[in-house]
Chain A
Amino acid sequence: MTSEPYLLLSAILFAIGVIGFMLRRNAIILFMSVELMLNATNLAFVTFSRQHGNLDGQVASFFVMVVAAAEVVVGLAIIVSIYRARRSASVDDANLLKF
């Protein structure tokens, strides 16, 4: 099977992640959208790895997973602390830095 279908699927998932990130206002769902985008790039990495016949792409994908895990841990901690202060998980409510 050629690589194009995998890359197209990866692009579709990335675009859906972009839509979710821009449309939704719940901080948790924004994070899920970011995760979806990271996963889409992982799929592209794995596809490239198979296309070129070496394992560097899979190693890159592994590093993306590690960074995503760290990012989620810190991000969710921030969401919880914001929720504790303002009783809301909506990104519209955290606007003190705006002015």
Chain B
Amino acid sequence: MTTLIPLVSGDQVAFWICAPIMVVLALGMVIARKPVHSAICIAGVMVGLAVLYAAQDAPFLFVVQIIVYTGAILMLFLFVVMLVGVDTRDSVVETLKGHRIASVVAAVALAAMVFLAIGSRVFDGIPAGLTEANAQFGGNIQGIAALLFTRYVFIFEATAALLITAALGAMVLAHGERLKAKKTQLQEATDRVERYATDGVHPGPLPSSGVFARYNAIHVPALLPDGTASELSVSPTLRARGVIMDVENLRRPSDESHAAIEQASAQAEGDAL
């Protein structure tokens, strides 16, 4: 270990910087109401763990932690959060009575038990360090490879089977069975005409948004012949957000130019007389 300050080594600095951040982020993961915030918090915890792996002579696991956990698994989590709905919040109602207190007590008891076990001097003296084990095959990655392909080769092959099974399982589970038969174009047309006959719903497409000289975006409503905005020409989502352009705003430019033209022509007529 390189010595930065006397008696403080580089891994100690890394540990005391990373550990508090990781604990706070882990607590944030538990406390955050929105799943997206939890995912970001746990991403921070995983990056911190990667730093600790690097500080503990595990460069291979450092890179794998970043690529597999922070890169792949966290992104998978984020994909599912986006699929399932970013805005889903946990209800704060307790379904089981005293469940919260009991779980916190249980977790604290577990932590206390493990602390006691660790505190009773499991390891005396400084760690053996991995310099020798790494040097045996010429590096950390070579050492891990030597173990993987000799002593653990059958477990390694079993993980290949596991990964393939998991991929197949995910495909089968995520495959949505079609509950109703897909409608043909003929059926859709028949349904549309039937809706027109029974409920009077217009069978054609919805009116497009307004196209004016100054605006043609989707938040600009089309104007009806009587000068009011067509409700159907803008998306209900935009209406709910309240970003639809006001009709007055659309009419003002043409009103202003009409007034200007009239004023100009009145002036011209006055000059002629």
Contacts and interface: CB of A to CB of B under 8 A. Distances in A.
B45 A78 contact: no
A36 B159 contact: no
B170 A77 contact: yes
B163 A55 contact: no
B12 interface: yes
A15 B73 contact: no
A12 B23 contact: yes
B56 A6 contact: yes
Contact of A29 (B35, B53, B73, B122): B35
B77 A28 contact: yes
Contact of A55 (B26, B30, B130): B130
B107 A72 contact: no
Interface stretch (B111-119, B189-197, B201-209, B260-268): B111-119
A1 B80 contact: no
B4 interface: no
Contacts of A55: 130, 133-134, 140, 143-144, 147
Given A11-B111, A63-B159, A73-B167, A46 B72 contact: no
Contacts of B151: 56
B110 A18 contact: yes
A3 B127 contact: yes
A69 B68 contact: yes
B89 to A, nearest CB: 8
A22 B106 contact: yes
Interface in B97-139: 99-100, 103-104, 106-108, 110-111, 114-115, 118-119, 122-123, 126-130, 132-134
A62 B141 CA distance: 12
A20 to B, nearest CB: 4
B120 to A, nearest CB: 10
Interface stretch (B57-65, B215-223, B225-233, B240-248): B57-65
Interface in A39-72: 39, 42-43, 46-47, 49-56, 58-59, 61-63, 65-72
Contacts of A79: 80, 84
Nearest to B92: A25
Nearest to B30: A20
A9 B99 CA distance: 26
Interface in B31-55: 35, 38-39, 42, 45-46, 49, 52-53
Contacts of A5: 15, 19
Contacts of A31: 77
Given A50-B127, A69-B72, A89-B85, A58 B162 contact: no
A26 B94 CA distance: 13
Interface in B138-196: 140, 143-144, 147-148, 151-152, 155, 159, 162-163, 165-167, 169-171, 173-174, 176
Interface in B1-44: 1, 9, 11-12, 15, 19, 22-23, 26-27, 29-30, 35, 38-39, 42
B91 interface: yes
Contact of B57 (A42, A50, A65, A83): A50
9 contacts: A1-B11, A24-B30, A26-B88, A29-B30, A46-B53, A65-B64, A70-B166, A77-B169, A81-B173
Interface of A: 1-9, 11-20, 22-26, 28-29, 31-33, 35-36, 39, 42-43, 46-47, 49-56, 58-59, 61-63, 65-74, 76-81, 83-84, 88-90, 92
